[in-house]
């Protein structure tokens, strides 16, 4: 499968493992320095599940896991569309320290609307962690607090990221060959 659909491997399994371990330490230290020992980690389905499952095993804090699913409503080609919650968390986050975990931040529209919705539930704090960041594509003032890698504006798959629901299980991150989506 790799030879056919991937034009370039950006991060292999070994590099990802190292980077995710570093991120886990970074997150642990960040909260410990503020005297926070308990957090709620919210994974955004489906893209974040693989990253999240590796990441939480590298975080040395008490944590609760929960998941959300959101989708962009309206014209799917316009990423500034309205974001709606299609699966909500079951945790009451009032007064709690929340860490949102996403696969990738692109325009920032999804995370901007999501954090706005979650702030109305009065958590003690919300921090954002994205595995990948397409910084140059940003159209909002959203930024991550923790990020695995900044990447160029290319369509990538693997390690949770999909194209049309496929390729999430690839253990590396690769650029999708153009013919896959242009055919």
Q: Whole-angstrom Cα distance, residue 60 to residue 29? A: 9
From CA 154, how far away is CA 164, in angstroms rounded? 16
Window 13-72: residues binding Mg ion (CB under 5 A): 47
Whether 106 sits among the annotated catalytic residues: the reply is yes
Residue with smaller CB distance to ligand IMP, 61 or 104: 104
**126-152 CB burial, b ≥16 within 10 A, e <16:** bbbbbbbbbbeeeeeebebebbbeebe
User: Which residue is closest to Mg ion by CB?
Assistant: 47
Is residue 108 within the footprint of Mg ion (CB under 5 A)? no
CB of 95 to ligand IMP, least distance (A): 28
Element of type H or E holding 19: helix 13-33
Distances (CA, A) of 56 to 62, 67, 135: 10, 13, 24
Contacting positions for ligand IMP (CB under 6 A)? 47, 79, 102-110, 155-157, 161
Please, what is the minimum distance in Å from the beta carbon of residue 104 to Mg ion? 7
Q: Which does 133 bind (CB under 5 to 8 A by kind): ligand IMP, Mg ion, none?
A: none
Site for Mg ion in 125-154 (CB under 5 A): none
Q: Which of 54, 103, 106, 133 is catalytic?
A: 106
Instruction: Tell me what percent of the chain is helix, strand and coil, each rounded to the nearest 5.
Output: 30, 35, 35
| CB-based contact 137:153 (threshold 8 Å) | yes
With respect to ligand IMP, which residue has the nearer C-beta, 54 or 106?
A: 106
Q: Is the CB of 21 or the CB of 168 nearer to Mg ion?
A: 168
Q: In the bound complex, what is the minimum distance in angstroms from residue 138's beta carbon to Mg ion? A: 16
Which residues are tagged catalytic? 106
């Amino acid at each position: 499968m790799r030879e056919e659909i991937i034009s370039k491997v950006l991060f292999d399994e070994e590099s990802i493992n190292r980077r995710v371990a570093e991120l886990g330490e970074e997150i642990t230290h960040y909260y410990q320095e503020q005297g926070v020992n308990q957090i709620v980690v919210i994974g955004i389905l489906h893209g974040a599940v693989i990253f999240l499952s590796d990441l939480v095993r590298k975080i040395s804090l008490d944590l609760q896991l929960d998941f959300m699913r959101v989708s962009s409503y309206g014209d799917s080609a316009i990423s500034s569309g309205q974001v709606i919650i299609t699966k909500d968390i079951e945790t009451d986050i009032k007064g709690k320290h929340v860490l949102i975990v996403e696969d990738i931040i692109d325009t920032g529209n999804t995370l901007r609307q999501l954090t706005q919705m979650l702030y109305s539930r009065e958590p003690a704090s919300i921090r954002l962690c994205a595995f990948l960041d397409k910084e140059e594509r940003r159209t909002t003032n959203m930024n991550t607090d923790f990020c695995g890698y900044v990447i160029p504006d290319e369509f990538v798959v693997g390690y949770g990221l999909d194209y049309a629901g496929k390729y999430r299980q690839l253990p590396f991150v690769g650029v999708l060959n153009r013919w896959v989506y242009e055919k």
